[in-house]
Amino acid sequence: MLRAQAVAEYFLWLTRDQDEQISNLKLQKLLYYAQGYYLANSGSPLFDAPIHAWDHGPVVKDIYDQYKQYGRGGIPAPPYINERRFREAEKKIIQWVFVTFGKFSGTQLRNMTHNEPLWRNAKKNEVMQPVQLREYFLTRADVEPVIVFTQRKSWKEMTEELFVKHRNLWERLAQV
């Protein structure tokens, strides 16, 4: 199992060549989706920290506290991460979540999580238990987290393949 900080840095590192940085709000939601889909796929947590149900949606408190100095602004990407500490399945889920949900703003992701029964039914500041996360993400039929990444495909090929595979989801999310 990874440390939550390592997963957060991986998400930030994925923005290193982009014009837009990830806000703390957006990072929190990406961590939530990564943990949920990894639990649904593997049965075990991706990272070690609990996820709390806060007013603005699911939050990994330690990561929130570390980056709260950036307020609503973007968090700079680390110049380097050690990808060797990640197993292939971990990298694939993180990349899949980034491609699938990274195009939405932090506010859009917050609104998406607010519409999910897992967050709606949670008590304020309650920890969302891994068992609850796994059960919920196993029921999400709108996105089938089957990883299609291979070493031989370019980033562009992978994103196009994901877009085609999940076209209905993209169209529904565009209406949100």
Task: Dump the DSSP string for 3-26.
Answer: -HHHHHHHHHHTTTTSSSPEEHHH
- Top-ranked range on mean pLDDT: pick from 2-6, 15-19, 137-141, 158-162: 2-6
pLDDT recorded at residue 146? 47
Q: At what angle do helices 130-139 and 24-42 cross, to 10 degrees?
A: 80
pLDDT recorded at residue 170? 66
Cα R_g (the chain), whole angstroms? 15
| Cα 135 to Cα 30: distance, rounded to the nearest angstrom | 18
Task: Inform me whether the pLDDT recorded for 138 exceeds 80.
Answer: yes
Whether 36 and 136 have beta carbons less than 8 Å apart is answered as yes
More confident residue, 175 or 24: 24
User: What's the whole-number average pLDDT of the chain?
Assistant: 89
Task: Inform me whether the pLDDT recorded for 4 exceeds 60.
Answer: yes
Task: Inform me whether the pLDDT recorded for 12 exceeds 50.
Answer: yes
Give the pLDDT band (50/70/90) at residue 19.
Answer: confident
pLDDT recorded at residue 129? 96
Predicted TM-score (pTM) of the model is: 0.81
pLDDT recorded at residue 157? 73
Task: Inform me whether the pLDDT recorded for 143 exceeds 60.
Answer: no
pLDDT, tens digit (0-9, with 9 covering 90-100), for 151-173? 456 667 767 777 777 777 767 77
SS3 163: helix
